[in-house]
Amino acid sequence: MYPSFIQLLRAEIIKIFSRKRSFIGFAAIAAVVFLIQLAMYVDGENYIGLITQSIEQSIKLSGHIVTGNMVCFIILQTLIIQMPLLVALVTGDLISGEAQSGTIRLLLTKPVSREKILFVKFVAGLIYVIALILFLGILSYPLSLLIFGNGDMMVLKSDELVILQSADTVWRFIGAFFIAFLSLTVVSSLSLMLSCFTNNSITPIITTMSIIILFTIIGTLDVPIFETLKQFLFTTHMIIWRNLFDNPINISFISKSIGVLTAQIALFYGISHYYFSKKRHHWIIV
Amino acid sequence: MKKIIFVLAVLIFGLDALAQTPKQVLYNCYYKFSKLNDFKADAAIHFDVPGLNMKQANGKILYRKPNKFRIKLMGIAFLPKQNPFESINGLADTNTYVAVSIGNEKINQVSLEIINIIPLNQGDLITGKFWVNRAENLIYQYELTTRSSGTVMINQKMGEQKIHALPDEIKFTFDVSKFKIPKGIAMDINSAKKKSLDNRKTGTIIMNFAKFVLNKKIKDIEFTEE
């Protein structure tokens, strides 16, 4: 009997969540979120005072500053840069892990096309990403609103403070989580692609992490020769969610980044598809 | 005969006005405003401050003689440090400052006399400059230099409440230092977009008032910040 897509997907999801490693991401997210919430609860006003002190020489700040919206933004700002590493930890060995343990041979003996197997693994990776984003979303948004209350949002940027009305924030956060999902899907696709190239489960994980760190460093360097290169790095476009909190929003700028991220997902998945389905790997021939 | 009486009246009142010392002119402005005990009004506040990006804020302005003042808003706002009416009330005691008329200027088709004041005590105010219409006993503009907040220019646009010396619009223009948060503190690392730097050294906040309620007692609790 041919296993259905759902059966294969269920098996992949069980595989992912049966590994302790898969829960490191959730634990790390919970720890960071609670630490930021605790810090902001205890010392949030002082932290904001430090930021606004230069502007408060002439005018005074009025109103409830440390709101759930603001705390959620700070959490996202801190975590979304680190989350790709947590995703790579799980999606980096979706193929290579099975190649190393030998279970890929068993999987390929089933009457299922390789394309389908790869697609199932890709979707399983997406589901893991969605689970991480939902977990982050619930801990950082509703919980922060519950602890700190709703209210206008002060967006901290290095060159300006943006004040958004509370009613104007919900859709921005939904957009931010969507862009975070796209960004992490790029990482998931990249690690899946690297995972196809080797039968060592650690190599694609470490390589993906190294690429993320390297790209992030290049992104922080204000050197003219890197300016063109930066346009092609997914790490440059991963942080575009922050521009959803601008006023006014530069729609074309954000759309371009969404386009680049989507294209990179397609590119990485396309290479994986080509390599996995057309090439004869030694772990299949043996 | 009527013409002669008219000319005499103009001369008498004109000379009387000219005979007023700068202190008397300022005191008359204070006196006109001091007839008002309480007032509240709807306020629409517009911000144009380098380093600050926020939309118009709406709320209420509350005042009670002599110096109770509050701008009541729902959300976050950056507001002027000065109570704009405190300076006018500060003109009440003419023994606390020296006033010197330094000339005249026409602003928005209104002829105004410029009077400088120097406080005699060592308070926060270093010096003040008032643009006054003698005939109306109204202050249209004033500039305060303070130890704590630098120089602040306050323009008042008179409207329907001119008779009570209440403006329809107050514009604050103040010095601002360059706004910059370290990227580490703002966690704004790896920014994808760089904005052109706003190098202006002054910011403005404009408050437009409407729906005035005058001399209806406002409860103390309404002046308490939540």
Structural domains of chain B, with CATH: 22-223 (2.50.20)
Distance (Å) from the alpha carbon of A276 to chain B's nearest alpha carbon: 34
Are the Cβ atoms of A235 and B186 closer than 8 angstroms? no
Query: Residue B16 CB: number of other CB atoms within 10 A?
Result: 9
Question: Which range (A162-176, A246-260, B62-76) has the least confidence?
Answer: B62-76
Q: Say if residue A105's pLDDT is above 90.
A: no
B77 contacts on A by Cβ (under 8 Å): 61-63, 163
Task: Answer whether B18 touches A (CB < 8 Å).
Answer: no
Kindly give the parts of chain B with pLDDT less than 70: 1-19, 179, 182-198, 226
Q: How many CB pairs under 8 A join A and B?
A: 140
List the single residue in B with minimal CA-CA distance to A64. Answer: B76
Selecting from B176, B191, B197 the residue whose C-beta is nearest the C-beta of A55 gives B176
Selecting from B55, B179, B205 the residue whose C-beta is nearest the C-beta of A55 gives B179
Task: Answer whether B190 touches A (CB < 8 Å).
Answer: yes
A232 contacts on B by Cβ (under 8 Å): none
Helices A24-52 and A68-91: crossing angle, nearest 10°? Answer: 150
Q: Say if residue A23's pLDDT is above 50.
A: yes
**What is the helix (H) or strand (E) element at residue B120, kind and residue range?**
none
Question: Which range (A21-35, A245-259, B70-84) has the least confidence?
Answer: B70-84
* pLDDT, position A286: 40
* pLDDT, position A241: 92
Name A186's Cβ contacts closer than 8 Å, sequence gap at least 6.
Answer: A234, A238, A261, A264, A265, A268
Q: Work out the average pLDDT over A235-251.
A: 91
* pLDDT, position B119: 94
Between B183 and A254, the more confident residue is A254
